Amino acid sequence: MSEAVSSLRLALVGNPNCGKTALFNQLTGGRQKVANYAGVTVERKEGRFDGPSGRVFQLLDLPGAYSLEAASPDEVITRDVCLGHFPGETAPDVIVCVADATNLRLHLRFVLEVRRLGRPMVLALNMMDAARRRGIVIDVEKLEAAIGIPVIETVAVQRGGAAGLIERLDGSVPAVASFDADSDLHAQVRTLIADAVSMPRRTAEIDDALDRILLHPVFGLGLLAIIMFLIFQAVFSWAAPLMEGIEAGVGFVGDWVGSGLAPMPMLQSLVVDGIFAGVGGVLVFLPQILILFLFILALEESGYLPRAAFLLDRLMLKAGLTGRSFIPLLSSFACAIPGIMATRSIQDPRDRLTTILIAPLMTCSARLPVYALLIAAFIPNQNVAGIFNLQGIVLFTLYVAGIVSALAVAWVIKLVRSDKSEHALMMELPSYRIPHPRDIAIGLWERASIFLKRVGGIILSLTIILWFLSSFPGPPQGATDPAINYSFAGMLGGWLHVVFEPIGFNWQISIALVPGLAAREVAVSSLATVYALSGQEEGLQAIVASQWSMATALSLLAWYVFAPMCLSTLATVRRETNSWRQVWIMASYLFALAYLASFLTYQIASAMGAA
Amino acid sequence: MRLSELTQGTDAVVQDVENVSEPDPIARRLRDYGFVRGEPVRLVGRGPIGADPLLVQIGFTRFALRRAEAARVIVETVA
């Protein structure tokens, strides 16, 4: 460990919304590693950068906190790591405390609280560009003298905006003298601001103006509905050309590899029918997942998400939730796992549990493959009222069905629960910001790599297992049916078919649901594999359109609104709630709802002649 | 009067934050947020449904507080 001699461990702390993550990205660029803290599921982000002297810095991005008197698991981590009490983490050599220069009344209090720890620290006065635009003048020398730690101005979203900070850290940072622990921090902050800060007005005019519109009782709610609707239209229409490109590319490479393997039919079948048909069928949804995350990240960065939570709080409260549930639930549209993990920002344990239990009802992007396949096969691609696409409207309806069921389930949980004591909201509405392309790009890259790792790991291995189950044992001499009917998968599908027949699923669907337990999107690749091994040469969409009834397609769509099968989600729930009971409750209620919804859909659709 | 009873757009000053239970984590968090004696406060807006939650400006920051949370804050209007 030669680098340990000269490397310095830094920890980035600060209030939520101080621009800490942007500063982290500015300092480390792409050189960062995301994992979890030992034993808990709070995200741990670490990165590295070099100082001008060649010294290596290791930077840890701690969760945002309002106070070291921790009120949430995130704040406990921040406190314990700063103090050096967290098992498996060494205390940082220097604490870099970040404060938003436009929000010093709140943020300086936390700076002073961290200063009490008596550890070497510097203060990064971030968002100095926004402060200057608002005419805020900060006497940095005076501030530095008054609080006794180095103060450096930064602009995290500007190239070179942290150069001064890097230079200062490359020198030596003295420990601060410890201060009287009983002093009134609020009084000290007021004195500091009176002496060193001049501020023309307490709020930004642009925030006032935007809030008047975006939080307006009528326009605000209307705009929220329009934004959500546009996101879903975009997910479907923008992604189409990219998806066609990926599909064509995978098909071309598959054929090329397959022709090279022609002398070995077994291996050829595994590669072409198993790997390329399966993995390609999932990879094709990467554009949609990225577009969805692009919107979520942009809304998050802009400061709009807490506004949406504000608008919806009362509605969600009636259903037994909180406005804060909005952000985890919105993330669950991408994937329930980050959504469930994001519930850590909900301080009330009951609100948190309810949010976790309904998160899988938000239509995650892994369900998009199934929806996309069925909608493309059964719903005509035509315009409605000139501007809307019928397929987009059906997709939107499926999402709404998930949301409505989630609210209903939350409401039932509220009725069942006997504890009626107060739940808290208390949420900061940060200043509006223009999202920075670099921060969004880094966020998107993180999501894309998680998705691709899933494709490479779980999905690839399941596809291969399914190929094996579908190919062996081979058909007996003189068999007339397709070979897959005699295989393990055919038998398994036959048994499951008994359970699923009343809801209109054929045996191919029944088989595909089994690997779909591990990851929902695998169901599509499994269908592709099953049909490819049945000797059908057409694309999956053409097969489905010609062989399934409308009632079966609608029933499967209804099933996937609830889709009880995702082992990774259940594992996350186990980890986050530390309770098998919650896992069982979730799995059984989802299964019951899915079966009921599909049963009703199939029987009603059949009765109406959609056979 | 209480922050929850303040009319929209009126300037006021915080007098105290009451604990409604012992301990009261909500009241403690309000004090961390800057709801302390002498701090100027203003009700900026209200939620679209049932005029809840309230949009409150304290210091340089805006918070969304439910009525029961805002009711813990005793304020005095500024003439």
- Which A residues, 312 through 371, put their C-beta within 8 Å of a C-beta on chain B? 313-315, 317, 323
What is the rounded CA–CA span in Å between residue A13 and residue A23?
11
What is the rounded CA–CA span in Å between residue A214 and residue A223?
7
Minimal C-alpha gap between A157 and chain B (Å): 21
A424 and B44 within 8 Å at the Cβ level: the answer is no
Q: Which two tokens stand for residue A293?
A: 């995350």
Q: Which two tokens stand for residue A155?
A: 């602009």
B63 and A199 within 8 Å at the Cβ level: the answer is no
A69 and B44 within 8 Å at the Cβ level: the answer is no
Is some CB atom of chain B closer than 8 A to the CB atom of A194?
no
pLDDT, tens digit (0-9, with 9 covering 90-100), for B42-70: 999 999 988 889 999 998 999 999 999 99
Smallest CA-to-CA distance from A381 within A370, A394, A400 is with: A394
Handedness of CA A446, A448, A449, A455 (dihedral sign): positive
Q: What is the DSSP string of A530-588?
A: HHHHTT--S-HHHHHHHHS-HHHHHHHHHHHHH----HHHHHHHHHHH--HHHHHHHHH
| CB of B39 closer than 8 Å to CB of B13 | yes
A306 and B52 within 8 Å at the Cβ level: the answer is no
Is some CB atom of chain B closer than 8 A to the CB atom of A224?
no
What is the rounded CA–CA span in Å between residue A117 and residue A37?
22
Is some CB atom of chain B closer than 8 A to the CB atom of A309?
yes
| CB of A574 closer than 8 Å to CB of A587 | no
Q: B64: which strand partners?
A: A427, B55
DSSP 8-state symbol, A341: H
pLDDT score at B17: 95
pLDDT, mean of each 10-residue run, chain A (611 residues)? 65 92 88 68 82 91 90 85 87 94 94 91 94 94 92 92 92 74 86 91 87 92 89 76 84 84 80 74 74 85 90 88 84 76 76 92 81 83 77 85 92 83 85 90 81 69 76 73 73 85 86 70 74 70 83 90 74 79 91 93 85 53
First-to-final CA distance of chain B: 14
- Which B residues, 19 through 58, put their C-beta within 8 Å of a C-beta on chain A? 25-26, 28-34, 36, 38-40, 44-50, 52-53, 55, 57
Neighbours of A545 (CB within 10 A): 16
What is the rounded CA–CA span in Å between residue A61 and residue A439?
14
pLDDT score at A481: 66
What is the rounded CA–CA span in Å between residue B51 and residue A464?
56
Sort out which chain A residues have CB atoms less than 8 A from B40's CB and list them.
202
Q: Which of B29, B36, B64 sits opposite A186 (nearest CB)?
A: B36
A428 and B61 within 8 Å at the Cβ level: the answer is yes
| CB of A509 closer than 8 Å to CB of A527 | yes
- The residue in chain B having the minimum alpha-carbon distance to the alpha carbon of residue A215 is B47
Sort out which chain B residues have CB atoms less than 8 A from A212's CB and list them.
45
Residue A87, H or E segment: none
A106 and B26 within 8 Å at the Cβ level: the answer is no
Best residue of B4, B66, B78 to probe chain A, by most A CBs closer than 10 Å: B66
Minimal C-alpha gap between B5 and chain A (Å): 17
What sections of A238-303 are H helices per DSSP?
239-260, 265-269, 277-283, 286-302
Minimal C-alpha gap between B21 and chain A (Å): 11
A306 and B64 within 8 Å at the Cβ level: the answer is yes
Helix (H, G, I), strand (E, B) or coil at A95: strand
């409308």: which residue's tokens?
A: A550
| CB of A164 closer than 8 Å to CB of A96 | no
B34 and A314 within 8 Å at the Cβ level: the answer is no
Best residue of B44, B57, B61, B69 to probe chain A, by most A CBs closer than 10 Å: B61
Residue A588, H or E segment: helix A580-607
pLDDT score at A178: 64
| CB of A65 closer than 8 Å to CB of A32 | no
What is the rounded CA–CA span in Å between residue A76 and residue A63?
9
Neighbours of B23 (CB within 10 A): 8
Neighbours of A518 (CB within 10 A): 17
Bridge-based pairing of strands A137-138 and A32-36 is unpaired
- The residue in chain A having the minimum alpha-carbon distance to the alpha carbon of residue B26 is A424
Task: For Cα atoms A593, A492, A375, give the angle at the middle one, nearest 5 degrees.
Answer: 50
Average pLDDT, chain B: 92
B26 and A424 within 8 Å at the Cβ level: the answer is yes
Is some CB atom of chain B closer than 8 A to the CB atom of A427?
yes
The contacts of residue A556 (CB under 8 Å, 6+ apart) are A370, A374, A504, A505, A509, A598
Helix (H, G, I), strand (E, B) or coil at B22: coil
A106 and B68 within 8 Å at the Cβ level: the answer is no
What is the rounded CA–CA span in Å between residue A263 and residue A259?
9
Backbone angles phi, psi at A455, to 5 degrees: -60, -45
First-to-final CA distance of chain A: 69
Q: Which of B29, B52, B60 sits opposite A71 (nearest CB)?
A: B29
| CB of A526 closer than 8 Å to CB of A511 | yes
Is some CB atom of chain A closer than 8 A to the CB atom of B7?
no
pLDDT score at A365: 73
What is the rounded CA–CA span in Å between residue A247 and residue A80?
49
Handedness of CA A202, A205, A210, A215 (dihedral sign): positive
Minimal C-alpha gap between A195 and chain B (Å): 16
Sort out which chain B residues have CB atoms less than 8 A from A317's CB and list them.
52, 66
Best residue of A112, A313, A315 to probe chain B, by most B CBs closer than 10 Å: A313
Helix (H, G, I), strand (E, B) or coil at A39: coil
User: Cα A603 vs. chain centroid, distance in angstroms?
Assistant: 36
- The residue in chain A having the minimum alpha-carbon distance to the alpha carbon of residue B31 is A186
- The residue in chain A having the minimum alpha-carbon distance to the alpha carbon of residue B24 is A422
Helix (H, G, I), strand (E, B) or coil at A8: strand
Sort out which chain B residues have CB atoms less than 8 A from A67's CB and list them.
29, 32
Is some CB atom of chain A closer than 8 A to the CB atom of B74?
no
Residue A267, H or E segment: helix A265-269
| CB of A152 closer than 8 Å to CB of A101 | no
Strand order, beta sheet including B61-65: A427-429, B61-65, B52-58, B40-49, B11-17, B73-77
Q: Which two tokens stand for residue A72?
A: 């949430």
What is the rounded CA–CA span in Å between residue B69 and residue A281?
50
Is some CB atom of chain A closer than 8 A to the CB atom of B2?
no
Maximum Cα–Cα distance for chain A, whole Å? 95
User: How far from A309 is each of A221, A320, B63, CA to CA, in Å?
Assistant: 11, 14, 12
B52 and A313 within 8 Å at the Cβ level: the answer is yes
Q: A244: which strand partners?
A: none
Strand segments (E) across B1-79: 11-17, 40-49, 52-58, 61-65, 73-77
pLDDT score at A4: 45
Q: Which two tokens stand for residue A26?
A: 């500015």
Is some CB atom of chain B closer than 8 A to the CB atom of A533?
no
A202 and B48 within 8 Å at the Cβ level: the answer is no
pLDDT, tens digit (0-9, with 9 covering 90-100), for A168-197: 998 887 777 666 667 889 999 999 999 999
Handedness of CA B39, B44, B46, B48 (dihedral sign): negative
Is some CB atom of chain A closer than 8 A to the CB atom of B9?
no
User: How far from B24 is each of A422, A495, A512, B56, CA to CA, in Å?
Assistant: 11, 57, 52, 20
Is some CB atom of chain B closer than 8 A to the CB atom of A217?
yes
Neighbours of B28 (CB within 10 A): 15
Best residue of A314, A318, A345, A348 to probe chain B, by most B CBs closer than 10 Å: A314
Rg (CA), chain B: 11
